[in-house]
Amino acid sequence: MRVIGTSYAGQYSLDVKTIATPEELTSPSNIVGTNDSVRGFISKGTFADYKILARGNTAYRIIGQPQRDSVDIRLEFLDDAGNRLFSETHRTSNKLDWGVRVTSPGKYTLRVIGTSYAGQYNLEFVESSH
């Protein structure tokens, strides 16, 4: 990191924190069940994968309550072969209520991708009655 002054004079203080490393974000132990919550920190260019063991012919809702940080993320719902079935963009400072439906039982992936800024996300995965 390089800090360069462009005008005037003064003092500065920086607090540098690791948001996540790829190993932390893509751990195979990130398994999500119905009514589970997932939360973490993300920034532009990073992503987190969560594995879901889904029943067939079932609708799910991914709900996000507004967060203090305003981070742009893209959510992707992938099948076991890595094909993107659904995609949604979201700003974490807004409420999210996103529905997805799976027709076949199996292993799926919920991918959270940071597209701008850095901060926290908090999502709940629930089975939908609709």
pLDDT band at 6 (very low <50, low <70, confident <90, very high): confident
Question: Three-state DSSP class for 32?
Answer: strand
pLDDT at res. 71:
93
Residue 55 to residues 41, 52, 65, 103, 106: CA-CA distances in angstroms?
Answer: 29, 10, 25, 8, 7
pLDDT in tens, 22-48: 544 554 568 888 888 888 888 898 899
All structural domains of the chain, each given as residue ranges with its CATH number in brackets, are 46-127 (2.60.120.260)
CA distance 44 to 90: 13
Query: What token pair was written down for 79?
Result: 């099948």
Helix segments in the chain, DSSP class H: 22-25
Q: pTM of this prediction?
A: 0.78
